[in-house]
């Protein structure tokens, strides 16, 4: 059979298969199939509860609804909507004007709607609550000092927590994001003429600091249930410094045709949730630890008088599904970065061995990379590579270089001089010496460097959770945010187990990679 | 054939070899002997191109060694070092057959040749499947010699080949080696500091001191008519076993 006739037969078979597949796909669409609707939400409780509401409302309208919860931050959620990976998610007007459309000078709702329409996105009217920044302090302390408005703080200048100068001075502690946002503390302190003594700390730790009295004033979100739970008082923004963060729904314009009933159901939320209600809903989830789906369903049935089926709290199923997804993502981060590092680091190690003038440069260079803090590397890579997996992979790649380069160099360098000469006097050229003698003899050391890199990578890859790369870092970040150790464990325990598994896997691999003679020799010498 | 023409070599400020002429006699065994640091190993390393001369030239069959041709010339020279210099990651068989396999010999041919070499050096065939760390010192040295002979080179260079062996093993190996060299009519150059070994192997013995040839000839000539005091002292420094008989009976 010649090649041409073989190709012709292959092509005709492929055509048959394609035809059958196409028919199979077309067949069911002739009857009216329920529309498929994907709802997204960002990685915090309020967004997830609203996402659950949208999902339940879409199901009630007959759609096949799916909730892709906890997509990370604004950038990820909005770009997913723009690309059509999700059909809707809850957003805030302040975020739209300041962040998403920040470069377009939008002011009014009409401006926003017009700007969104250019991307095929529509915006609902306001749902009824404003989740803005506010400054908060313990109610008892505020009442004692007669502080009701932010401008009242001028009578109580902030103090550097470390100076501890006067006991009457208030200690200001703000979330790191608030400390650094232009519309956060830097702008606020100027607008109100407050002294700028304040320290940054994690938002979740701020509440603990307020309770213990370590700090007196912090930034809060106005719908945080902790405000009530910790007996705090939000101070009035009397100069109207903070922008409004009114909650709205963003959805793809084509839904009006694709699933008009779904949109109609969603818009029933307009004006239906006021601030006290949202605070209660958040409290049900964050403080009473009720599953977000139930919180959403009970609200829809109770307040909106609907009859949606409240989903069962399939917590364990969610844990397992998340575990599977996180494991896959984590493995991807580790494997891709490790493979790239092997491809680069082994030749670098060989170069350091073969080319003494380059040795210091190579070994020193990868050594310096290792000393950079992982957060700093990640943040440096963000503008270059965007959000998601790539910056994480790039950071892991950089950290993997040192152990592999160093062990490749060391393994080659410790080959006894008489054996190197033995290979030379046999008449083997440099390349043959490398492949037949030097690399096999250094294989144990090289493999051990790769193992070190892999084990470190499994742990370090958890920083990817910060920037939407997924993996075991995701539950660690979520758990830290919710102050929920059980969620943190869902990332920490599998990460530790994976590190152990990687270690075991490499010990197994040694049997195949390291030549038998070396293993026998090592067994004898120990 | 290997020849040194006015070759000298220094390491840093130390001259380890003064300008020296030396030619290996084809089919004969030449022994380089002398105290540590006399330059005997340096000569061997110059011959195989592990180091380059500062002055003069090293010729192989009349061709000067250059970085370009040294790799191919090395394949025509067998080189044996102390303890065999075997690669620990390869079996005995693969150590001996490494270069032949690299040069594209078919596996059956390599195996047959290795077995032939094992018989020649009286290495048990079952040792061929083992790894260097599983073999005795004598067996390792036999493998080193097999590897040197594998491609049937005209010249064999040996750098203190018996240095690490105990006396009984050394005695047997010396016997076997001399038979092999004589029967195969190889041109051989051995470096040693042992007078007994030099006399046993050497058609010609070259005594070196302080980087130059002090005297050369048959060992008998060196013993009977030493050229100078250094030769006399070196010869007298060899201690032979003496037996105290008085008082035993």
Q: What is the 3-state secondary structure (H, E, C) of A128-180?
A: CCECCEEEEEEHHHHHHHCCCEHHHHHHCCEECCCCCCCCCCEEEEEEHHHHH
Taking only the tens place, the pLDDT of each residue in A382-427 is 777 766 788 899 999 999 999 999 999 999 999 999 999 999 999 9
- Cα–Cα dist A426/A286, whole Å: 73
Q: What is the pLDDT of residue A13?
A: 59
**Is residue A481's pLDDT more than 90?**
no
Q: How far apart are the first and last CA of chain B?
A: 57
Q: How far apart are the first and last CA of chain A?
A: 61
Q: What is the pLDDT of residue A168?
A: 55
Contacts of A432 in chain B (CB under 8 A): 102
Interface size A-B, in CB pairs within 8 Å, comes to 73
* Nearest residue to B195 via CA among B161, B220, B213: B220
Note whether A425 contacts B48, CB cutoff 8 Å. Answer: yes
Tokens linked to A74: 């604004």
Residue A123 CA from chain centroid, whole number? 26
Q: What is the pLDDT of residue A167?
A: 46
Tokens linked to B127: 């040792």
Interface residue ranges in chain A relative to chain B, Cβ cutoff 8 Å = 418-419, 421-429, 432, 436-437, 440-441, 443, 515-518, 520-521, 524
Helices (H) and strands (E) in chain A, counts: 24, 12
Note whether B87 contacts A429, CB cutoff 8 Å. Answer: no
Query: Closest chain B residue to A430 measured between Cα atoms?
Result: B71
Determine the average pLDDT of the residues in B144-155.
Answer: 95
Q: What is the pLDDT confidence band of residue A482, given thresholds at 50, 70 and 90?
A: low
State ipTM. 0.90
Q: What is the pLDDT confidence band of residue A261, given thresholds at 50, 70 and 90?
A: very high
User: If DSSP codes are grouped into helix, strand and coil, which group holds residue B191?
Assistant: strand
For A260, B36, B157, B171, the CA distances from B80, given in Å and listed in that order, are: 88, 19, 6, 17
- The shortest CB-CB distance from B71 to any of A429, A516, A521 is to A429
Interface of B with A in 124-143 (CB under 8 A): 131-134
Contacts of A521 in chain B (CB under 8 A): 88, 131-133
Range from A87-91, A313-317, A329-333, B92-96 carrying the lowest mean pLDDT:
A313-317
Q: What is the pLDDT confidence band of residue A295, given thresholds at 50, 70 and 90?
A: very high
Phi, psi of A517 (to 5 degrees): -60, -40
* Nearest residue to A72 via CA among A433, A374, A388, A349: A388
* Nearest residue to B216 via CA among B12, B4, B30: B30
Q: What is the pLDDT of residue B246?
A: 55
Range from A130-134, A476-480, B20-24 carrying the lowest mean pLDDT:
A476-480
Higher pLDDT, A312 or A110: A110
Range from A247-256, A472-481, B154-163 carrying the lowest mean pLDDT:
A472-481
Q: What is the pLDDT confidence band of residue A9, given thresholds at 50, 70 and 90?
A: low
Considering chain A, what percentage of its residues have pLDDT values greater than 90? 50
HSE of A247, CA atoms in CB hemisphere, 13 A: 25
Query: Closest chain A residue to B84 measured between Cα atoms?
Result: A422
Task: Give me the residues paired with residue A233 across strands.
Answer: A137
Give the torsion through C-alpha atoms of B226, B228, B233, B234, to 10 deg: -70
- Cα–Cα dist B36/B237, whole Å: 14
**Is residue A16's pLDDT more than 70?**
no
Q: What is the pLDDT confidence band of residue B159, given thresholds at 50, 70 and 90?
A: very high
Note whether B74 contacts A424, CB cutoff 8 Å. Answer: yes
* Nearest residue to A469 via CA among A83, A51, A72: A72
Q: What is the pLDDT of residue A10?
A: 55
**Is residue B80's pLDDT more than 80?**
yes
- Cα–Cα dist B129/B138, whole Å: 16
- Cα–Cα dist B160/B80, whole Å: 8
For A36, A54, A172, A311, the CA distances from A64, given in Å and listed in that order, are: 5, 12, 48, 14
- Cα–Cα dist A520/A497, whole Å: 30
Range from A150-159, A321-330, B195-204 carrying the lowest mean pLDDT:
A150-159
Count Cβ atoms below 10 Å from residue A154 Cβ, excluding itself.
Answer: 12
* Nearest residue to A150 via CA among A243, A216, A222, A235: A235
Report the mean per-residue pLDDT for chain A. Answer: 86
Q: What is the pLDDT of residue A157?
A: 63
B89 touches chain A (CB under 8 A): yes
Higher pLDDT, A69 or A510: A510
Count Cβ atoms below 10 Å from residue A423 Cβ, excluding itself.
Answer: 23
Phi, psi of A439 (to 5 degrees): -65, -45
Q: How far is A507 from chain B (nearest CA, A)?
A: 18
Note whether A517 contacts B133, CB cutoff 8 Å. Answer: yes
User: If DSSP codes are grouped into helix, strand and coil, which group holds residue B111?
Assistant: helix
Strand order in the sheet with A121-123: A64-68, A36-40, A88-92, A247-252, A121-123
Q: Is the distance from CB of A206 to CB of A174 less than 8 angstroms? A: yes
- Cα–Cα dist B133/B91, whole Å: 10
**Is residue A28's pLDDT more than 50?**
no
Count Cβ atoms below 10 Å from residue A184 Cβ, excluding itself.
Answer: 18
Strand order in the sheet with B2-11: B14-23, B2-11, B55-60, B63-64
Element (H, E) at B21: strand B14-23
Q: How far is A443 from chain B (nearest CA, A)?
A: 10
Note whether B133 contacts A524, CB cutoff 8 Å. Answer: yes
Q: Is the distance from CB of A473 to CB of A463 less than 8 angstroms? A: yes
Q: What is the pLDDT of residue A218?
A: 92
- Cα–Cα dist A245/A224, whole Å: 13
Q: Residue B31 has what DSSP assignment?
A: E
Helices (H) and strands (E) in chain B, counts: 9, 10
Tracing tokens 């006067």 back to the chain, one arrives at A166
**Is residue A65's pLDDT more than 80?**
yes
**Is residue A471's pLDDT more than 80?**
yes
Q: What is the pLDDT of residue A131?
A: 92
Q: What is the pLDDT of residue B190?
A: 96
Phi, psi of A126 (to 5 degrees): -70, 145
User: If DSSP codes are grouped into helix, strand and coil, which group holds residue A513?
Assistant: helix
Interface test with A, best of B68, B78, B88, B96 (most A CBs within 10 A): B88
Contacts of B102 in chain A (CB under 8 A): 428, 432, 436
Q: What is the pLDDT confidence band of residue A7, given thresholds at 50, 70 and 90?
A: low
Q: What is the pLDDT of residue A413?
A: 96
**Is residue A378's pLDDT more than 50?**
yes
Q: What is the pLDDT of residue A95?
A: 87
Q: Is the distance from CB of A345 to CB of A370 less than 8 angstroms? A: no
Q: What is the pLDDT of residue A8?
A: 58
Element (H, E) at A297: helix A292-302
């Amino acid at each position: 059979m010649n090649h041409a006739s073989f190709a012709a037969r292959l092509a005709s078979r492929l055509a048959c298969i394609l035809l059958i597949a196409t028919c199979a796909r077309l067949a069911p669409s002739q009857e009216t199939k329920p529309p498929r609707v994907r709802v997204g939400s960002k990685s915090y409780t309020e967004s997830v509860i609203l996402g659950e509401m949208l999902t339940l409302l879409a199901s009630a309208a007959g759609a096949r609804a799916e909730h892709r919860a906890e997509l990370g931050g604004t950038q990820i959620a909005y770009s997913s909507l723009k690309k059509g990976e999700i059909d809707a998610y809850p957003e805030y007007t302040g975020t739209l004007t300041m962040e998403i459309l920040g470069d377009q000078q939008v002011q009014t709702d009409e401006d926003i709607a017009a700007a969104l329409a250019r991307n095929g996105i529509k915006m609902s009217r306001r749902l009824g609550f404003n989740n803005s920044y506010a400054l908060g302090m313990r109610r008892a302390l505020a009442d004692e000092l007669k502080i009701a408005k932010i401008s009242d703080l001028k009578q109580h200048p902030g103090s550097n927590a470390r100076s501890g100068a006067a006991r009457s001075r208030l200690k200001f502690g703000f979330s790191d994001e608030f400390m650094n946002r232009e519309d956060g503390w830097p702008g606020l302190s100027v607008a109100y003429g407050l002294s700028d003594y304040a320290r940054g700390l994690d938002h979740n730790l701020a509440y603990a600091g307020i309770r213990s009295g370590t700090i007196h004033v912090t930034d809060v979100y106005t719908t945080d249930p902790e405000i009530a739970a910790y007996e705090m008082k939000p101070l009035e923004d009397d100069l109207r410094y903070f922008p409004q963060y009114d909650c709205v729904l963003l959805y793809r314009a084509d839904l009006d045709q694709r699933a008009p009933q779904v949109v109609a159901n969603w818009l029933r939320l307009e004006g239906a949730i006021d601030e006290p209600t949202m605070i209660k809903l958040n409290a049900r989830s964050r403080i009473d630890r009720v599953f977000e789906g139930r919180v959403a369903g009970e609200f829809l049935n109770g307040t909106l008088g609907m009859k949606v089926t409240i989903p069962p709290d399939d917590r364990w199923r969610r844990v397992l599904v998340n575990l599977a997804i996180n494991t896959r993502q984590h493995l991807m981060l580790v494997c891709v970065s490790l493979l790239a590092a092997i491809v680069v680091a082994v030749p670098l190690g060989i170069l350091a061995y073969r080319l003494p003038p380059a040795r210091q440069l190579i070994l020193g260079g990868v050594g310096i990379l290792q000393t950079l803090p992982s957060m700093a590397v990640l943040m440096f890579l963000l503008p270059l590579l965007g959000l998601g997996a790539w910056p994480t992979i790039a950071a892991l790649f950089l950290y993997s270089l040192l152990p592999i380069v160093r062990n490749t160099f060391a393994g080659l360098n410790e080959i006894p001089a008489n054996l190197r000469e033995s290979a030379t006097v046999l008449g083997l050229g440099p390349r043959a010496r490398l492949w037949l003698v030097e690399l096999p003899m250094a294989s144990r050391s090289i493999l051990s460097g790769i193992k070190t890199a892999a084990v470190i990578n499994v742990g370090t890859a958890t920083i990817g959770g910060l920037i939407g790369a997924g993996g075991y870092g995701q539950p660690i970040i979520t758990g830290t945010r919710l102050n929920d150790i059980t969620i943190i464990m869902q990332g920490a325990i599998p990460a530790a187990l994976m590190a152990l598994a990687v270690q075991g896997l490499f010990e197994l691999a040694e049997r195949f990679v390291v030549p038998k003679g070396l293993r026998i020799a090592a067994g004898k010498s120990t | 054939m290997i020849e040194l023409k006015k070759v000298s070599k220094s390491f840093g400020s130390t001259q380890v070899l003064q300008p020296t002429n030396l030619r290996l006699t084809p089919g004969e065994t030449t022994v380089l002997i002398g105290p540590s640091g006399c330059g005997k190993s340096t000569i061997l390393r110059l011959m195989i191109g592990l180091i380059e001369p500062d002055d003069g030239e090293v010729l192989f069959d009349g061709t000067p060694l250059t970085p370009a041709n040294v790799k191919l010339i090395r394949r025509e020279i067998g080189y044996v070092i102390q303890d065999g210099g075997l690669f620990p990651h390869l079996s005995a068989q693969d150590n001996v057959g490494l270069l032949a396999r690299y040069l594209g010999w078919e596996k059956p041919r390599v195996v047959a040749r290795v077995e032939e070499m094992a018989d020649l050096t009286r290495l048990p065939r079952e040792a061929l499947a083992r790894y260097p760390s599983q073999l005795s010192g004598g067996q390792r040295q036999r493998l080193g010699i097999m590897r040197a002979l594998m491609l049937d080179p005209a010249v064999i260079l040996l750098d203190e080949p018996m240095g690490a062996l105990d006396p009984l093993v050394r005695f047997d190996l010396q016997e076997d080696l001399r038979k092999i060299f004589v029967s195969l009519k190889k041109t051989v150059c051995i470096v040693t500091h042992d007078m007994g070994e030099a006399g046993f192997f050497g058609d010609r013995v070259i005594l070196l001191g302080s980087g130059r040839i002090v005297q050369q000839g048959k060992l008998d000539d060196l013993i009977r008519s030493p050229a100078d005091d250094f030769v006399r002292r070196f010869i007298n420094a060899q201690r032979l076993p003496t037996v105290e008989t008085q008082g035993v009976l």
